[in-house]
Amino acid sequence: MELRDIEIFLALAEELHFGRTAERLHVSQARVSQAIRTQERRIGAALFERTSRRVTLTPVGRRLREDLQQVHDLLQAALARAEAAGIGAGRTLKVGVFGHAGYELRPLIDAFRGRYPGSDVVFGEINGTEPFSALRSGEHDVNVLWLPVLEPDLTVGPTVLTGGRVLAVAAGHPLVERGTASLEDLADNMVVDFGPDAPEYWAASMVPVRTPLGRRIPRGPIARTFHEILSLVASGQCVQPLGEIAARYNNPPGIVFLPMPDAPDMNWALTWRSTADNAAIRALARTAADFEPIQL
């Protein structure tokens, strides 16, 4: 009987309802049925009496539940203790962010440091051209990326930031007069290209391929870093939608950030390589899950 089976058994023993048990454990109802059946086969006795109306524990099941509840609690405690020791071992997490987003995350990081003494976080820089490479190379433990992130080797954790978009334009751009920009305006200007290394779907979620009216949005020169983007914009060659956060702590000469009221909000989430999952990363993710996403 593997740990997963114990969890399913205990949850069902508590809920006495296959559907609710499945929901609680985020698995299908069929899975619960299969898992219980397998255990009953192995043990050689029914653990639950069930009709389509009622689910009840048999005497054997009742006894097993008491025993396994104790085992499960002890096991969780043991693992938690080991994890705590692991986190406390002084590993520092390197978290990749765009621009100055790390500043906004301070409440989260402070909470994390408070909860797990001995742990720490340092920030690294990421850019739009290769959003995942630092994760995959192991240089970063976690990246804060806008969603969606649909990479099979990456895990998407809790959302930590949410906010609208702004359009970066040159100071002399005609749109500056109007004071705001809309998605439709993009078709009349050239936007920066994130290059071939950035996944298409991901780049498109920042700058769509077409406007809401279906006009094609022209892509211009490739920019690797945030700085290069700003240079292209300042020179008047391009405009570029960016997360609202870019406008907060940047006041670059020759550039104006215009709000884009019709652009849907974007969400930034913690993301890490699934196989590099470890106690410190999970601890950070747990901490983040307890916070509401920071609203810009």
Asked if 280 interacts with its own copies (CB under 8 A), we say yes
Beta strands in the chain (DSSP E): 48-50, 55-57, 92-97, 120-125, 142-146, 154-163, 165-170, 191-193, 219-222, 240-243, 255-259, 266-273, 294-295
Where in 139-168 is the site for DNA (CB under 7 A)?
A: 152
Q: What is the largest CA-CA distance in the chain?
A: 80
Asked if 31 interacts with DNA (CB under 7 A), we say yes
Asked if 13 interacts with DNA (CB under 7 A), we say no
CA distance 234 to 192: 12
- Residue 128 beta carbon to its own copies: minimum distance, rounded to whole angstroms: 30
CA distance 243 to 98: 9
Contact string 38-77 vs DNA (x = CB under 7 A) = x-----------xxxxxx----------------------
Q: What is the DSSP letter of 89?
A: T
Question: What are phi and psi for residue 220, nearest 5 degrees?
Answer: -105, -145
Instruction: Using CB under 7 A, pick the residue from 14, 37, 114, 178 that binds DNA.
Output: 37
Q: Which part of the chain contacts DNA (CB under 7 A), choosing from 23-31, 114-122, 196-204, 252-260? A: 23-31
For residue 114 the two structure tokens come to: 């408070």
Instruction: Using CB under 8 A, pick the residue from 19, 30, 45, 249 that binds its own copies.
Output: 45
Instruction: Using CB under 8 A, pick the residue from 74, 122, 176, 209 that binds its own copies.
Output: 74
Other beta carbons less than 10 A from residue 288's beta carbon: 22
CA distance 165 to 189: 17
- Residue 47 beta carbon to its own copies: minimum distance, rounded to whole angstroms: 8
Instruction: Using CB under 7 A, pick the residue from 30, 45, 78, 289 that binds DNA.
Output: 30
Residues found near its own copies in the complex (CB under 8 A) = 1-4, 41-45, 47, 59-60, 63-64, 67-68, 70-71, 74-75, 77-79, 81-83, 85-87, 89, 91, 275-280
